[in-house]
A and B are shown apart, each in its own frame.
Chain A
Amino acid sequence: MASTDIAAGTLERHGLSDDQLRAIFRNMLLQRQLDNRGFQLNRQGKVPFALGSEGHEALQAGAAMAFNRGKDILAPYYRDLGLCLGIGLSPYEIMLSIFARAPDHNGGRQFPNHYSSKAAGLMSFSSILAAHLPHAVGAAYAIKYRAETGRAVLATCGDGTTSEGEWHESMNFAAVHKLPFVMLVENNEWAISTPLEKQMAEPQIWKRAAGYGMPGRRFNGFDPLETYAAVKEAMDRARDGGGPTLVEGCCYRYLAHSTDDNDMTYRTREVVIERRKQDPVPAFEAVLVNQGIMSAQEVAEMRKSVLRETNDATDSAEAQPYPQPSDLYTHLYEGAWQPWQS
């Protein structure tokens, strides 16, 4: 942990208030709680699938704090539960997605965790890795095209996605046009079963930035405040017309890829246990308590509140109806179009 020195009692808070620090922590707790809830529901046979994001809590909460709601655009990937919460999605919306109910933003059509919200500036995306990045670049181009200042696109992806051709094409175009675009790589060292050393020869992804002619940096993704600072710097640069940045946050994927994956087939329990020592949630809890920003009591209250909120969201979402069979045919085009026109 780089930006806190617990023994010395100093905390680099990068201009964040106590309330903001607590909000970051709450986001982390809520992410973990909702994450777990998805897995529980799957084990109970109530939902067919869930994706985990344990290990990403600090990175996503910190990045979300640097996002300007109502102005910036988010182009996330399917492991960004915390980031989407952090920019304004509610636990209810999250659970609607997991349960695939009709009031879901996507009408229950999309896989869980494939959120979208026009109101929140959250672009619709698919499961295809890197396919959202040219979209994000196009949206950034639109911002620049309309000479809109103070707006930028925050795009995220995992380490695996950086091998995709479309990652490269997106970075290159963003650089050529100096677009208001930030590429945040959440490097958790695993792409399902592919470890970093099989994914790339150079494990520090930020080093590619120079090859595109854009700035790049790396930060500790287990530290939400260091994350906030790095993402804020990049987003400010983009919003002010300074062009794109590649920022790489290092974290770790504690769980398997999803409920359909068994990570014990490709890594050992010991390795995961060792990396658990860096778990950002208890680590930041310790920081807040040691700094006197929250008491142990307040932390316990916050956990209870998060659990309540999760339970309420679960119950409300589960009670919603599924989409109708006739809903399969809507929103194909604007208006009713059949392939054969009569």
Chain B
Amino acid sequence: MAVVSANSTVMNNVETVRATLYEALRNDERTLIIGEDVGARGNVFLITKDFVGEFGERRIVDTPIAEASIVGIAVGMAMEGLRPIAEIQFADFIYPSFNQIVGEAAKIRYRSNGEYTCPLVIRAPYGGGVRGALSHSVSVEALFYHVPGLKIVAPSFPADVKGLLNASIDDPDPVLFLEHKKTYRLIKGEVPNGHYTIPLGKANVLKEGAQLSVVSYGLYVHWALEAARQLEQEGLSVEVIDLRSIRPMDKTTILQSVERTRKLLIIHEDNKFGGIGAEISAMVAEEALFNLDAPIRRLCGPDVPAMGYALPLEEEFMSSPAEMAEAMREMVKF
């Protein structure tokens, strides 16, 4: 991914979110952003910096501190024909709005038999590795992916961020768009110019391999790729799949991969018990048991409430490329 063409720009994830939101606001007058500190402050990661000057306070809405109503008010805007993009400042603050997301947004179309709909995007930065401790590091996807009526997206590369964010904004149903905050500035990549979308429910095979299928998403996709490349040097062939979309999730890509490699390792930062890996494991066991030459394995966050602020606690919680490589080696050699 080194050549910069005339048709693409190299950007990091946070720049990509910013550029994509900017275009969305320019292209559709119904679009607006609602959240805390999104106006003059330009969002705590500067994603909406200077937006309020260009689009006005009417479209860049600085809210009082009230997460339940940030989402709830956005639901009402959506029901009434606007296309709001709500922002929860950190995914750790999403819990007060849990009812509005799960009990309301997810059910608007269903309970009104399609008469009312809720085209809403809720963006939230999540994930650790930034010394965020108990209230600025958590992963929340497992709490929400269970819910019919919601869609959940968690891209890891800038090109995917743009395509999936555009698709989410266009989506007529509520989408929870999760941005791993450590990848904001860490991950750069080529982003095609112009408007495009990537369909939800499509995973991406980042690296082909023959001996093991590794499924991951978020920050850990990058670590997993690094580990797989390391294993390549050792003559071991590992396939790495970036889920990109959590609900809906890409069954075909996963099953096709497992059918070839016959081994599956799921890696995610979120706690192990009840995490995304549990659903993937169950699905593969149900549908491809006889394709497997080894038990499915999950390398996940420990089942503790959160990573601590002190560095050793954070490092203990997070997995490293080396740890991932070790798990991959063990599985290949099983």
Direct contact of A and B (CB under 8 A): yes
Q: How large is the interface on A (under 10, 10 to 19, 20 to 34, 35 or more residues)?
A: 35 or more
Among candidates A138, A337, A339, A341, residue contacting B73 with C-beta atoms closer than 8 Å: A138
A116-B115, A173-B66 known; A145-B151 Cβ under 8 A: no
Interface segment among A38-46, A123-131, A249-257, A278-286: the answer is A123-131
What DSSP secondary structure best describes chain A's contact surface?
mixed
Task: Encode contact with A along B99-115: 1 for CB under 8 Å, 0 otherwise.
Answer: 11001100111111111
List chain B residues, Cβ under 8 A from A172: 64, 66
Task: Decide: A142 and B82 in contact? CB cutoff 8 A.
Answer: yes
Report if B116 contacts A (CB, 8 A): yes
A138-B78, A141-B76 known; A333-B109 Cβ under 8 A: yes
**Residue in chain B with minimal CB distance to A141:** B77
Q: How many B residues, CB 8 Å from partner?
A: 54
| Closest chain A CB from B6 CB (angstroms) | 34
Report if B36 contacts A (CB, 8 A): no
List chain A residues, Cβ under 8 A from B135: none
Among candidates A124, A143, A342, residue contacting B111 with C-beta atoms closer than 8 Å: A124
Q: Which residues from chain B sit less than 8 Å from chain A, CB to CB?
A: 32, 58-59, 61, 63-64, 66, 68-69, 71-82, 84, 96, 99-100, 103-104, 107-117, 148-149, 151, 172-173, 200-202, 245, 247-252, 283
27 sampled A-B residue pairs with Cβ under 8 A: A106-B111, A106-B113, A106-B115, A116-B111, A116-B112, A117-B115, A126-B104, A128-B103, A131-B99, A131-B104, A134-B72, A135-B73, A135-B79, A137-B76, A138-B76, A138-B79, A140-B76, A145-B32, A165-B96, A173-B64, A330-B113, A331-B110, A332-B149, A333-B172, A334-B117, A334-B172, A339-B248
Q: Which residues from chain A sit less than 8 Å from chain B, CB to CB?
A: 73, 75, 104-107, 109-110, 114, 116-118, 123-124, 126, 128, 131, 133-145, 165-166, 169-170, 172-173, 176, 330-334, 337-342
- A sample of 20 more A-B contacts (CB under 8 A), given A138-B84, A173-B73, A331-B109, is A106-B113, A109-B113, A116-B111, A126-B103, A131-B99, A135-B72, A137-B69, A137-B72, A138-B77, A141-B82, A142-B76, A142-B80, A145-B32, A145-B77, A165-B96, A169-B66, A173-B63, A173-B66, A330-B114, A334-B117
